[in-house]
Structure 1
Amino acid sequence: MKKILLIGTGGTIASRQLGEGLSPALSAPELLRYVPDVRSFCEVEVLQLCNIDSTNMEPSIWCALAAAIREHYDRYDGFVVTHGTDTMAYTSAALSYMVQNSRKPIVITGSQKPIDTDGTDAKPNLRDSLFYACDGLSEDVSLVFDGNVIAGTRAKKMMARSFNAFYSVNFPVLARIQDHHIIRYIPPSPLRGPLSFQEELSDSVCVMKLIPGARPEMLGYLFENYDCIVMESFGVGGIPERMLEKFYLEMGRWREKGKFIVMATQVVNEGSNMEIYQVGQKVKQDFKLIEAYDMTLEATITKLMLLLKRYPSSYEKLRREFYREVNHDILCAFEEGSLR
């Protein structure tokens, strides 16, 4: 029988009504009492890392979570993390980069309703996650929700209250869990290297979302306070004409200090490609900008947090590693006119 470590972090799944709205109150051992049947297919031990609303999730907790998995890695066959849904996609992406090439499954799950309420989705989600973590073909970091198994770097919360809250963006779901069966759509791929952990992240990453008429002066402020700006542009990507002069001025001023911009798109599906339109092509070439392409925003941000910590003074190394695929996070990059 497989031995699984259940790591509790709080979230809706562990919440109760405490008078001023839902708030995490149940511990990981208490969650298990609502799914007693899982004892028939696995042995579960628990670790309560924290008990927070996932709105309060932050990189320091991701670091503690990665450290806990490293510390207990040899003692268990798999790991299940219970988590709030609002930042769950960020956590699943962050763990994908902080724990790479894991032959053992690391599963993130939660629910839209607390586990002690009628009609909750918490019980099937927790049961499915433990079941998936016990399967011999399961590996690496994934998010399990509403029967879907999603690569940790491809998950995005798309529904605020519905049970089918998470979608896999620009990549198929890995599997479906139905009636105690795992239906795999994507076969496990050979892991590309030895197991590795990184338990430090940079928090010097921010997001600038372009809107029509955005003030160019924002760039100076953001560069002053952050080392990396992820700029969410429109469509396949570009810089508005009214912002170009300031963009060139600030990029010239700050890139000598190791600060840079990564271009992304506000469009959820299909990704960016700045080579297509004049508003994007020249500025990308002039500054050799990194582009997120088909990556989710959550994966883009957390990957940059890790790489900024690992390569604080080498843009070229960071750029190269950004385009290295980790846990299905990026399918292709149109670099220097060639499809990779």
Structure 2
Amino acid sequence: MIRIHVTYTGGTIGMVESPDGLVPGADLHGWLFRLLEQGSDLDPSKVSMSTLDPLIDSANADPTSWQAIIDDLWRFHDSADAFVVLHGTDTMAYTTSALTYALTGFGKPVVFTGSQHPLGRIESDATANVTGAFNAALSGQAEGVELFFGHHLFAGNRITKTSSWAFEGFESPVTGPVAQSGTPWHWNHFDRSGKGWLDPRPYGRHDVAVLNMVPGIDARRLEAMVTPRPEAVLIRAYGVGNIPDSEPGLTDVIQRVAGEGIPVVVCSQCQQAEVMLGRYQAGAGLAASGACSAFDMTFEAVYAKLVFLLSQGLGPERTTRWMGVSVAGEMNDLHE
């Protein structure tokens, strides 16, 4: 029988009311094993569970939190066949993306889930999501790092959170879901191949400046946002990679930053997009500056990939080059 290990990191699923709002504190271990004993064919003795310390609201997650989960998964790698991670929804798409890059050599399925409501509430989606994650882990069809939420299974680096309240709180705008639960489940396998990464270094915190283009932004404000200089710049541009090219000096700021050897990556504010720098005149300045395209990656996947590459100590040139190469199926491989 398949053995499953569960890693509990915190998040809404195990929160309780406090004078300051919801905080971690529910008996998730007891709830989970009662659920398995009462309504599952899975032998509870084949399920192990670890709880990270401290439990956190996922709004407090950072790259060291990602690494703590990675370390826990490797700790139980040889004693389990599949893994379920219980995580808060706010930053789950960042965490799942980050883990896809770091775990290309893990060789066993890792399924994330969480809930919009705490498990103690009658209207909670916790039971449906957790049992769905277990079913995905037991299916024999899950691969790599995935997320089950709201009756859908998604590739971990192809998702974005689209709702703070709906039970179907995540979407995969470019590829669609890997599967939809039902009787039977409907699977939609698609190519998720990548180059992989041998023996990745641990995640660390890195200074990535995220710049959001908005109507009326000027060069003075943009310069202030990249002063002092960060380790990398991620620009959320319009459409296929456009910025206000008629705004005096705006493109000059980006060209100066790139000229100083700082990786500049351009993604789109659109959920469904393929960045094509220079397709319009408004994006030609970015293309000329040496900025690189995020192609069809989600914002969460791009950010996590930048932090991953910076954590590998590659240097600006190699970091920029690897942004255009699929490591774990995060982008359309036609661009490699």
Normalized against structure 1, the TM-score is what?
0.89
Structure 1 segment 1-340 matched on structure 2, within 5 A: 1-36=1-36, 37=38, 40-41=41-42, 43-49=46-52, 50-179=54-183, 181-186=184-189, 196-223=199-226, 224-243=228-247, 245-249=249-253, 251-252=255-256, 254-255=257-258, 257-281=260-284, 283-315=285-317, 317-331=318-332
Change (3 A) 1:193 1:54: closer
CA contact (8 A) 1:100 1:196 kept: no
CA distance in structure 2 between the partners assigned to 1:189 and 1:302 by the alignment: 17
Change (3 A) 1:231 1:34: farther
CA contact (8 A) 1:27 1:48 kept: no
Q: Deviations over 1:70-107 (max 9, x none)?
A: 22211111111111111111111111112114321111
Say which SS state the counterpart of residue 174 (structure 2) adopts. coil
Instruction: Output the aligned Cα RMSD.
Output: 2.3
Say which SS state the counterpart of residue 185 (structure 2) adopts. strand
Say which SS state the counterpart of residue 249 (structure 2) adopts. helix
Q: Deviations over 1:103-142 (max 9, x none)?
A: 2111110001111110211001001111211222222000
CA contact (8 A) 1:264 1:292 kept: yes
CA distance in structure 2 between the partners assigned to 1:191 and 1:233 by the alignment: 26
CA contact (8 A) 1:204 1:227 kept: yes
CA contact (8 A) 1:109 1:125 kept: yes
CA contact (8 A) 1:67 1:199 kept: no
Say which SS state the counterpart of residue 29 (structure 1) adopts. helix
Displacement of 1:48 in angstroms is: 0.4
CA distance in structure 1 between the partners assigned to 2:77 and 2:95 by the alignment: 18
Q: Which has the higher strand share?
A: 1
CA contact (8 A) 1:154 1:295 kept: yes
CA distance in structure 1 between the partners assigned to 2:217 and 2:152 by the alignment: 38
CA distance in structure 1 between the partners assigned to 2:268 and 2:192 by the alignment: 28
Residue ranges of structure 2 left out of the alignment (5+ in a row)? none
Say which SS state the counterpart of residue 280 (structure 1) adopts. helix
Q: Counterpart of 1:115 in structure 2: which amino acid?
A: L
CA contact (8 A) 1:6 1:28 kept: no
Displacement of 1:7 in angstroms is: 0.5
CA distance in structure 2 between the partners assigned to 1:34 and 1:229 by the alignment: 47
CA distance in structure 1 between the partners assigned to 2:61 and 2:32 by the alignment: 23
Q: Deviations over 1:253-299 (max 9, x none)?
A: x4454313211111111232223101112x23422211112110000
CA distance in structure 1 between the partners assigned to 2:141 and 2:99 by the alignment: 19
Displacement of 1:193 in angstroms is: 5.4
CA contact (8 A) 2:84 2:113 kept: yes
CA distance in structure 2 between the partners assigned to 1:76 and 1:195 by the alignment: 22
Q: Counterpart of 2:224 in structure 1: which amino acid?
A: Y
Change (3 A) 1:105 1:225: same
Normalized against structure 2, the TM-score is what?
0.90
Q: Counterpart of 1:52 in structure 2: which amino acid?
A: I
Q: Counterpart of 1:56 in structure 2: which amino acid?
A: N
Structure 1 consecutive aligned stretches of length 4 or more whose deviation exceeds 4 Å: 187-197
Q: Deviations over 1:169-221 (max 9, x none)?
A: 21121112224x43211167677658754422342112111111113223333
CA distance in structure 2 between the partners assigned to 1:188 and 1:251 by the alignment: 35
Displacement of 1:34 in angstroms is: 5.0
Displacement of 1:313 in angstroms is: 2.1
Change (3 A) 1:34 1:195: farther
Other-structure match for 1:336: none
Between 64-73 and 295-304, the greater mean CA deviation after superposition: 64-73
Displacement of 1:225 in angstroms is: 4.2
